[in-house]
């Protein structure tokens, strides 16, 4: 059995899933640190306590979460760790079944049970921290959650089951959180939510996303602001004027359309039509010249036909999303779509996803080639081998394209700094260039 040689147990927090989960882990870690725990994120070293923050969104994510828990359960049985706790979406959704199947876990917690988790671990929940967190990302960028939960009735989505209804965070608290981040070196924030389009309706009686972005844009020292997860139905058009006018708001919008044919949008309960979706996307391009659009698509949903996929590919070629990701449908319990027959094989779903990505690849490469010969402002994230790796305003961390610059005496840059880069060549997903002298 391991012995401790420090006053408080050493805690290792392991985060699975999306950036919203990462923010939750960062808040939890700061709370633990405030109670004088030795806390690390995804450390490979020894720890007394493991806290796994799980994802339960789709089948692949659930399996990854379960496998991670089982690995730590085995480590606990071998005496390598003392306590194992599980929180997050999977734990919230399947607590009863998991509790019975994995008895090595000391306690299970839902998505809104941080105070109970901390109390069980032996820490105090400190209300005065007001969302302060221990950053796990590089100091120069951070994710900022502007709301929790979702009120949308999408047929395929289990998020409302795990996160509850939409609850907006007050503008003043978001502003204070970002000011604290900027004071410690953050230059870029990603505004995230389950549905950022809905922001403010519950709290102020009207959509306040544009007002929030103005307030955030006014923060001294914040150089890039990036908006994620904007639901297309009832999109607040006043946001576009703010994006077009403010230099520190990236010409970038993450707007997951999921599908395009009227039949699929109706089955998916998206609250929008093909015509309105296309009109909205064209309006965005017209009102924010030079904007890069990122979207997420879902194929293989019950009721989808080959003709629906044809419509989707046609729309991709029309809109020419600069950034695009595609998922295959996962048959999730207690969702509306679970009442429908999931008749397509995983192989057929994947074939449809591959067809979508094949159409996207040429669009991505064409866009990247259009940047060759231009000078782009780049924020550098890391040194990888013999290359400095950064991003333009058109790219969010982890999910989008990157800019690569040879690391040598002529191309020196510090991580977390901006530099102007002359783009000399491009591939489907990367740009290459030299630091402008």
Give the number of other Cβ atoms within 10 Å of residue 301's Cβ: 23
pLDDT reported for residue 4: 44
In angstroms, the Cα distances linking 274 to 263, 379, 391 are 9, 36, 32
Non-local CB neighbours of 39 within 8 Å, separated by 6+ positions: 10, 11, 12, 13, 29, 32, 33, 134
**DSSP string computed for 271-303:** S--HHHHHHHHHHHHHHSTTPEEEEEEEE--TT
CA 260 – CA 276 distance, rounded (Å)? 10
CA 310 – CA 280 distance, rounded (Å)? 21
pLDDT reported for residue 2: 46
Report pLDDT digits (tens) over 336-358. Answer: 999 999 999 999 999 999 999 99
Give the strand pairing for 418-426 and 375-384: antiparallel
In angstroms, the Cα distances linking 228 to 66, 160, 194, 382 are 28, 18, 9, 23
Non-local CB neighbours of 337 within 8 Å, separated by 6+ positions: 155, 156, 267, 268, 301, 302, 329, 331
Report pLDDT digits (tens) over 395-406. Answer: 999 899 999 999
pLDDT reported for residue 5: 47
CA 378 – CA 420 distance, rounded (Å)? 6
Dihedral over alpha carbons 137, 141, 147, 149 (to 10 degrees): -40
- The alpha carbons of the chain give a radius of gyration, in whole angstroms, of 22
pLDDT reported for residue 3: 45
Burial of 430: CB neighbours in 10 Å, binned 0-12, 13-18, 19+: middle
pLDDT reported for residue 1: 43
CA 160 – CA 152 distance, rounded (Å)? 8
CA nearest to 68, candidates 42, 31, 30: 42
Edge to edge, what strands does the sheet with 292-299 contain? 141-145, 188-192, 224-227, 249-254, 292-299, 323-328
pLDDT reported for residue 141: 97
pLDDT reported for residue 7: 61
Phi, psi of 220 (to 5 degrees): -65, 135
CA nearest to 280, candidates 233, 245, 326, 210: 233
Q: Which residues of the chain have pLDDT under 50?
A: 1-6
pLDDT reported for residue 395: 96
Non-local CB neighbours of 351 within 8 Å, separated by 6+ positions: none
Dihedral over alpha carbons 427, 372, 244, 397 (to 10 degrees): 30
Give the number of other Cβ atoms within 10 Å of residue 184's Cβ: 9
CA nearest to 376, candidates 342, 408, 424: 424
CA nearest to 51, candidates 106, 101, 1: 106
CA 180 – CA 192 distance, rounded (Å)? 17
pLDDT reported for residue 308: 97
């Amino acid at each position: 059995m391991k012995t401790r040689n420090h006053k408080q147990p050493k805690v290792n927090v392991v985060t699975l899933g999306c950036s919203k989960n990462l923010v939750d882990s960062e808040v939890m870690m700061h709370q633990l640190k405030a109670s004088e725990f030795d806390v690390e994120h995804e450390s490979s070293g020894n720890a007394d306590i493991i806290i796994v923050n799980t994802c339960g969104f789709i089948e692949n994510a659930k399996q990854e979460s379960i496998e991670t828990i089982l690995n730590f359960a085995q480590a606990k049985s071998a005496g390598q760790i003392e306590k194992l706790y599980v929180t997050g979406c999977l734990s919230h959704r399947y607590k009863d079944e998991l509790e019975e199947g994995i008895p090595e876990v000391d306690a299970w917690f839902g998505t809104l049970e941080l105070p109970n988790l901390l109390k069980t671990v032996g820490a105090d929940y400190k209300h005065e921290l007001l969302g302060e967190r221990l950053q796990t990302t590089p100091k120069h960028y951070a994710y900022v959650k502007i709301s929790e939960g979702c009120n949308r009735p999408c047929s395929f989505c289990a998020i409302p089951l795990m996160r509850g209804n939409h609850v907006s965070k007050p503008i003043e608290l978001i502003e204070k959180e970002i000011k604290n981040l900027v004071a410690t070196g953050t230059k870029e924030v990603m505004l995230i939510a389950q549905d950022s389009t809905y922001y403010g309706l519950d709290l102020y009686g009207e959509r306040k996303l544009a007002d929030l972005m103005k307030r955030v844009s006014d923060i001294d020292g914040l150089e890039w602001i990036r908006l994620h997860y904007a639901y297309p139905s009832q999109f607040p058009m006043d946001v576009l004027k703010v994006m077009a006018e403010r230099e520190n708001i990236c010409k970038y919008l993450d707007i997951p359309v999921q599908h395009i044919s009227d039949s699929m949008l109706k089955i998916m309960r998206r609250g929008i039509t093909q015509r309105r979706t296309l009109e909205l996307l064209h309006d965005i391009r017209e009102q924010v010249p030079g904007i890069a659009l990122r979207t997420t698509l879902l194929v293989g949903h019950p009721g989808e036909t080959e003709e629906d996929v044809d419509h989707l590919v046609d729309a991709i070629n029309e809109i020419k999303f600069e950034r695009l990701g595609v998922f295959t449908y996962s048959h999730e319990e207690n969702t509306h779509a679970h009442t429908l027959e999931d008749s397509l094989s995983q192989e057929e779903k994947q074939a449809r996803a591959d067809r979508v990505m094949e159409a996207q690849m040429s669009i991505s490469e064409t866009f990247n080639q259009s940047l060759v010969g231009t000078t782009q402002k780049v924020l550098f994230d890391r040194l990888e081998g013999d290359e400095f790796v950064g991003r333009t305003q058109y790219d969010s961390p982890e999910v989008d394209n990157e800019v690569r610059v040879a690391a040598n005496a002529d191309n020196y840059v510090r991580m977390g700094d901006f530099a102007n880069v002359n783009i000399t060549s491009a591939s489907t997903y990367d740009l290459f260039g030299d630091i402008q002298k």
